[in-house]
Every structure is written in structure tokens, then in C-alpha cells.
Structure 1
Amino acid sequence: MANPYLQLLNAAVPFKGVKKAIQSETQGPLAVIARTNARLFDYAVDELEKNPNVKFHFVGGFNSYNFQDLIDIQNLILQRRDLIYDKFLKNFESFSKLTEYADKANEVDLKSKIEIVENYIDKNISKLVTELESRNTSQQDATVILTTGHKSKGLEWNRVKILDDFANLRRLLEENRKILKKEEINLIYVAITRAKERLEIEKDYIINDFTIDKVKRNIYFVQE
């Protein structure tokens, strides 16, 4: 299922993956890959609520996911600007100004952070981040491995789950979106190919030749 994305990248050599993608008895921890840090935070909090004994391993180190930005954005909403650490976020005089900027600049990561913070507006994000950090452990001791498309490059796991914040080509076509960064296709391709045996992914991300043709005719890919 990775090859359609490879075609969109105009790669010459098709990817040859394993044929055990739906095997149910695969051993080892589940590796969860998100497009954005914010969506990974959302998944981890949900997992913590479902399983109080869960142990996470954050690939690249917990602090590299910069969850402080989520805390800062919540403080901006609550008009506690004196508690904001990030200089960029502190420059915005209000939350509405931040969302306006994110929409105009079409910054995927920032828009994701804003959406997640709005979903957690009635919760103490700072305490949630502290709780997640307390559950961080080595990969050997973890029950769930957490990473992003960027950080997963070059790594592989037996069981992989792809979250729903990667570029959804079917949805982009429905929304008549005309431009997409080529890097977004590369990231979903990288994420899919991290699985050695079992892959969990929403069906919208499974594309065929018909979808590829529509994408090539209707969406223009740009470099970063």
C-alpha cells in the first residue's frame, strides 16, 4: 500500500514490503506514528485514560516533542501571557491573533497545536504533560512507542499504528485543495513503511490508481 505514495513522489523503484500486514499475533510494543506532536499528545492522553498502567517511550526523547507549546497556547487563551515561555507565541497579543496567523500561513503543526489545545481547554494541559513524562521509559520497557513521521525515519517496528493527521488525499480532493507540499506525501510514505509485520491505518489512506490519477490532475505538489 506504500507504492501509490511512492508513485506520487516519482520514485523509480517500487517498495517491496512484507506480506504479513494484517497478522494478529505480532509480538512487541505498538509503535504509534503521528504527523504532528500535538496529535501524538492527544493519543497519549487518551491511551493513559484507557490504561493507567501504560508505559510510553518517546523516540528521540520526551523533551524533543515540545509539549510546552501546548501549555503556552492554553496560557494565551487564558490570558496568562506572563507564563508563556516560547518567544514566538508570546508575541501574539491574543489567541484570535494566533489562529489568524496560523490560517494565513497554513502552518500544519501550529494549526494542529491550536486544535488540540481547544479540545483540552477545560483540562490542565501542564499536569497532563507532567503525567505523560512520568510514564516515559526505555523502548525495552515500554508498552507503547510514540513518534512522528519525521523522527521515525530509518526505524522499524513489528507493529505500527498510523494516526489520522497525515495528509488525507481523498479529503483534499473533496475539499478541492489545489496545492500540497511534497514533503507531506513523503511523510505518510515513511510512516507506512516503518511496519515490518502489522500495520494499522484508516482506510482513507489506502489509495489506488484512480485516486493517484485524480491527485496528479488536480493537486500541484510544491517543495518546502
Structure 2
Amino acid sequence: EGAELIWKRMTNVQDPFPTVHDCYLKQYQLGMPNLSRRYTTILFDEAQDANPVTSSIVLQQNCKVILVGDRHQQIYRFRGANNALDSKELMNADQLYLTHSFRFGPNVSLVANALLELKGETRPVVGRGPADQVVMFLPGDVGHRAILHRTVMGVIETALSATESGAQVFWVGGIDAYQINELQDLYWFSMAEPDRVKNKKLLDEYEDYFEYQEVAKATKDPEMMRAVKIINSYDEIPERLTTLRRNTVKEEFGADITVSTAHRCKGLEWDFVQLYDDFPDVLDPELDPMARDDEINLLYVASTRAMRILALNSAVEMVIRYITQKRMVEKQMKMAAEATEVEEDTTK
């Protein structure tokens, strides 16, 4: 009933009740727009992370429809995004696979294929770019580099460490998109100074900082755990955050390092990329299968941002070791089976 009331008020143009983008998008869909009156062809990009409402609008058209996407780059399922490429309307559609990338070379493609093999992908990615390297740590003399993270707090942790040496930092999406104020609130909360906490929701949800830490441990929430690590590792957080803002640049060409989450880096590329060690273990048997696929997708997206040198984290390193061992076992089993067949033929 509450949802119906909100919908009624939001869709009433005479009502001062505020509306949101999703509301008038849904209204547009319900109006059954006929785009074929104006267009002969619709190209729907990023279809793997489509808004279900937008997908419905596109797929109900009578004109030609082309969907472009990569199911292995579906990273917004947590927002309710669907993979429109799997829509029933496309069951008989022609499918063309674009497996060659000119961003990176053969070594980064080996990493990408190891990740995709975990998901059962049989079509390998082919790196057609210039010669590249895969290492564990970026050389110190590479200059500007991009460091990609799973968590927002991981981004802040990297930036804090970098600014200690005076590095200039560029934040993909801007520094204000990375919960800097929330970290400062948590600091004052940990110091038992609730009057300095601006976001009072923190005070409502947790009795004290000890309870916050206990919840972080119990839920294993990566953002909370990383925030606790920062608070417990650094003193004078407010002063450090002030330095952080002072060392932030608005244009990337003036930066020593670029920081981003894996979600925000999609569609971007850099010569030198380091994967930060805050991604979960995708080989963990307790990981939910759907969540596992999402995490593999994030690692795949982050890994394929590198054009010249990719520095791995422990999560990807373990995947490569696992896949290498798996392939060796499969090869040995195949050789044993072939030897058995030869022996049987000889016996006959």
C-alpha cells in the first residue's frame, strides 16, 4: 500500500511530492513508445548491465535491434541490472562474438582467459595489442600508474599511503564519490566524540565503536573491515584527510597515481595497472555462486584495463595457479586415456 501511495503521488503532476528518474522512465515504458516510427535500427550498448525497464522499451520495438555487451563484464547486478543478452526475445537472434582486443597483448589475455575459464567460458580472448607484461609488482620507475580496488575504503587506504610521500592523486569519479566524510565520522566515533559525527545514522545503528568492529567481524563486510583497518592503523585521521584533499588533482595528467574502484574503472585504460589486494578469494567454496561470478567479472574488468604492464594481486595469482594446475591434470588424464586406447588396440 505504501509503494502504491508513493507511486500515485510521484506520478501526479499536480502533487508537489518529489519524483525520481526511475519514475518517469517507468511511465515512459508503460506508455508503450513506438520508436520504430523514427528509427530503422536501435543499437543498445552495455546490454549485460541493462536496466530492466530500458530493456523492455528496446526489445518491444518493431525495428531492427542490435544489442552489444559482454556477460563477463556484468558488474551491476547488485543494483538490479539484468543481462538483456539473455532475454527470451533474443532466442532466435544472430550472435556474433568479438573476442579480439587491441588494448592489450598476449600476456594480459592469458590472465583474462584464466578468469573466464573459472566461469566455463570456452571462447578465449585474443590480445592483439602491443607486447605487454604481467608481474606481481610494478617497477618503481614506471611513473604514473593506476591502482584498482574492490572497495571504496581500499581506494582511500591507497591514497592515504601515497600522499605520505607527497604524491598527487587523481580519483576516477572525483574524491567526493569515495566516502571521505564517512571515514572521518567513523574516526570521531572511535574517539568517543559523537558530537563531531555529522552523519547521525552511524550513532543510531551502533552503540559504540567496539560494536561497529564486532559487526564488521561477524558480517565480514569488506568496506567495514577495511575502514576499521584504516582507523586502527592511522592516527590523526582528520589531518591526514585534509592532506589527502590538498594532494588531489582534478586532471589526470597532473597525477602521480590514479585510484579507482573496479566498478568505476570500466571503459577506461592505462599503461600501467596495479590490482589492489582487497578483492575476495573467488576460489572460496563458501562463496555464493552468483556472487562468485560477479567477483570474477570485477577481476576480469579490472585486469583488462592494462595496456602495457599488469601487476597482479593475490586473488588473481591464486586463480592463475589453480587454472594452470587444472590444465596440467586434464592434460595428464588425456594422455593416460590415449595411452590406454593405444594399448587396447595393440591387444586386439
Shorter-chain-normalised TM-score: which range?
A: 0.7 to 0.9
Q: Contact 1:158/1:196 (CA < 8 Å) preserved in 2?
A: yes
Partner of 1:146: 259
Partner of 2:229: 115
Of the candidates 194, 201, 210, which is equivalent to residue 88 of structure 1?
201
For the 8 Å contact 2:156–2:180, the answer to whether it is kept is: yes
Structure 2 alignment gaps of length 5 or more: 1-110, 327-348
Partner of 1:220: none
The answer to whether residue 130 in structure 2 is matched with residue 16 in structure 1 is: no
Q: TM-score, normalised by structure 1?
A: 0.80
Question: For the Cα contact (< 8 Å) 1:37–1:67, is it kept in 2?
Answer: no
| Most deviating of 153-162 and 76-85 | 76-85
Deviation at 1:20, TM superposition (A): 0.9
CA spacing shift, 1:134–1:5, aligned 2, 3 Å: same
Q: Does 1:33 align with 2:143?
A: no
* Pairing partner for 1:102 from 192, 216, 232: 216
CA contact (8 A) 2:282 2:296 kept: no
How far did 1:104 drift?
3.3
Letter in 2 for 1:133: R
Give how far 1:184 is off.
Answer: 2.0
Q: Is the 8 A contact 1:30 1:159 kept in 2?
A: yes
Confirm whether residue 187 of structure 1 aligns to residue 302 of structure 2: no
TM-score (normalizing by structure 2):
0.53
CA contact (8 A) 2:151 2:223 kept: yes
Give the CA deviation at 1:12: 5.0
1:1-224 to structure 2, matched below 5 A, reads 1-11=111-121, 13-17=123-127, 18=129, 19-22=131-134, 29-49=144-164, 51-52=165-166, 54-91=167-204, 92-120=206-234, 123-137=235-249, 138-169=251-282, 172=284, 178-180=286-288, 181-182=291-292, 183-202=294-313, 205-206=316-317, 207-208=319-320, 210-211=322-323
Q: Structure 1 vs Structure 2: percent identity of aligned residues?
A: 26
Residue deviations 1:152-184, cap 9 Å, x none? 1111111111111112346x4xxxx51242322
> Structure 1 126/9 Cα, relative in aligned 2: closer, same or farther at 3 Å?
farther
Q: Match for 2:287: what amino acid?
A: I
Aligned counterparts of 1:64 and 1:166: Cα–Cα separation in 2: 20
Question: Which residue identity is paired with 1:105?
Answer: T
- Give the alignment's Cα RMSD to 1 decimal: 2.7
SS at match of 1:164: coil
Give the residue type in structure 2 aligned to 1:110.
Answer: M
For the 8 Å contact 2:163–2:247, the answer to whether it is kept is: no
Q: Deviations over 1:6-47 (max 9, x none)?
A: 222344543333541259799762111111122222222222
Call closer, same or farther: CA 1:88–1:210 in 2, change over 3 Å: same
Change (3 A) 1:22 1:98: closer
What letter is aligned with 2:117? Q
- May I ask how many residue pairs the two structures share in their alignment? 205
User: CA–CA distance in 2 between the matches of 1:21 and 1:69?
Assistant: 38
Flag the structure with more relative contact order, 1 or 2, with Cα contacts below 8 A and sequence separation at least 6: 1
Q: Structure 1 128/36 Cα, relative in aligned 2: closer, same or farther at 3 Å?
A: same
Unaligned runs of 5+ in 1: 215-224
Higher gyration radius (CA): 2
TM-aligned CA deviation for residue 113 of structure 1 = 1.1
Deviation at 1:203, TM superposition (A): 5.4
Q: Take 2:140 and 2:185, find their aligned partners in 1: how far apart are those partners?
A: 42
